[in-house]
Chains A and B, each alone.
Chain A
Amino acid sequence: EIVLTQSPGTLSLSPGERATLSCRASQSVSSNYLAWYQQKPGQAPRLLIYGASSRTPDFPDRFSGSGSGTDFTLTISRLEPEDFAVYYCQQYGSSPYTFGQGTTLEIK
């Protein structure tokens, strides 16, 4: 089973700042089958990034994903108030499909 470790656990930033979230895998994620999700309180997660770097149309281009192998990054270039949420990474390269424990992005 691939274990995904996200860091930091909590990130405190102000609107307008840049956010960098990390997801590290215990073994290489095949074909960069790595997704990111955004979850707000009381809501289901929403797919944000797939294939490590492909952004879904629901999200603006201030969100970007990068990385390969075992190290992946989600970057939010300029934080807007609606971006403060919990972000999860997930690998779908091998079963069982696993999620990271999440990074909480909170307003400073």
Chain B
Amino acid sequence: QVQLQESGPGLVKPSQTLSLTCTVSGGSISTSNYYWSWIRQHPGKGLEWIGYIYYVGSTYYNPSLKSRVTISVDTSKNQFSLKLSSVTAADTAVYYCARVPRKYDLLTGYSANYFDNWGQGTLVTVSS
């Protein structure tokens, strides 16, 4: 049973960079079957997809956050990471990492499926 666990600072100052890591256990991150994703949930609000990465390093980001987001992977540690720069109070949220099965379409090639396995989430507060 694959499990995902987020880790990182719970408090970040405005204008700084938010950095989180997701550790995958019970299975290898270096699989052709999955992407690895970040999603966030503002307090009491809905869910927002941030982006995902393939184990070889290919990344796909939500255009609304693309200018500030970097997702990277460390296959030797079975981890992937999120960096979000120039944060403001609007970036205060619970951040989840999740596994995403890959799907293939003849017209569009490979892309993401649903989020089938989630970490427990970690609250990041942006405040001075």
Contacts and interface: CB of A to CB of B under 8 A. Distances in A.
Q: Are A and B associated in one complex? A: yes
Interface of A: 31, 33, 35, 37, 43-47, 50, 56, 88, 90, 92, 95-102
A47 B116 CA distance: 6
Interface residues of B, number: 22
Report which residue of A31, A95, A102 has the largest number of chain B beta carbons within 10 angstroms of its beta carbon.
Answer: A95
Contacts, number: 54
Contact of B115 (A43, A90, A95, A100): A90
Contacts of B111: 92, 95
Given A100-B46, A101-B46, A47 B64 contact: no
B105 A99 contact: no
Contacts of B115: 35, 37, 45, 47, 90
A39 to B, nearest CB: 9
B65 to A, nearest CB: 9
Interface string B42-69: 0001111100000000001011100000
B124 to A, nearest CB: 15
13 contacts: A43-B120, A44-B120, A47-B114, A47-B115, A90-B115, A92-B111, A92-B112, A96-B49, A96-B64, A97-B62, A99-B46, A100-B46, A101-B45
Contacts of B121: 44
B113 interface: yes
Nearest to A88: B47
Nearest to B51: A96
B49 A45 contact: no
B114 A44 contact: no
